[in-house]
Amino acid sequence: DAGITQSPRHKVTETGTPVTLRCHQTENHRYMYWYRQDPGHGLRLIHYSYGVKDTDKGEVSDGYSVSRSKTEDFLLTLESATSSQTSVYFCAISEGTTQANYGYTFGSGTRLTVV
Amino acid sequence: KQEVTQIPAALSVPEGENLVLNCSFTDSAIYNLQWFRQDPGKGLTSLLLIQSSQREQTSGRLNASLDKSSGRSTLYIAASQPGDSATYLCAVPGTSYDKVIFGPGTSLSVIP
């Protein structure tokens, strides 16, 4: 989607290896999010960021870490990939105050397969 | 804890029909509600965002309404087309401003 890009688009990796997914935005939005989408589970929040170096856990954060050293980049790392982390990963951005969310914009997703 | 449901889970209609998709949420203290569309293998595309102070929003053949008191939103699609075939998801903010809860989606198929 315009203003937000994810890389890579597809990746196959082996069990036990570290993997880093990148989300890059050009909108200067404050909030960035990582979701995973799985059949039967819908979209689940992994981690989110509310500013540079400010991050927090979502509902399915085990096995994942994130970093945000610049406003425009939000990295998701699978520290030691497992087959259960095979999924489609989406990054989203939003801009809003502490009292309101002005809606989300999503990236196109990264399809990760752990073999 | 906010919970979001969508009915029906799947819907198949002939081209040209008007249709309604439903979204229900348990906590009415929401700031907004957003409708998305997702094509197979693609990301989510925002369709409409309704702020809590609004009752409805329109974009082309789409009209979304919001009734906070009853915990419901509907997405109305007029004169459906095969290109409307996709999964439609609604999303509302959770109890924390920085978290959003997604519904499971309605899979729509418009038959030519």
pLDDT digits over B5-30, tens only?
Answer: 999 999 999 999 999 999 999 988 88
Taking one residue from A and the other from B, the number of pairs with CB-CB distance under 8 angstroms is 57
Q: Do A109 and B42 touch (CB under 8 A)?
A: yes
User: Regarding beta strands A19-25 and A73-78, do their DSSP bridges make them parallel or antiparallel, or are they unpaired?
Assistant: antiparallel
pLDDT of B52-110, one tens digit each? 888 999 999 999 999 999 999 999 999 999 999 999 999 987 666 557 889 999 999 99
Note which residues in 81-100 of chain A have CB less than 8 A from chain B. 90, 92, 96, 98-100
Interatomic CA distance for residues B51 and A3, integer angstroms: 23
The closest of A90, A76, A17, A11 to B46, measured between CA atoms, is A90
- To probe the interface with B, which of A74, A89, A101 has the most B CB atoms within 10 Å? A101
pLDDT of B25-66, one tens digit each? 998 888 889 999 999 888 899 999 998 888 999 999 999 999
The dihedral region occupied by B76, where left means phi > 0, alpha psi between -120 and 50, and beta the remainder, is beta
List of residues 6+ apart from A12 with CB closer than 8 A: A112, A113, A114, A115
The two three-digit tokens of residue A13, written as one number:
């990796």
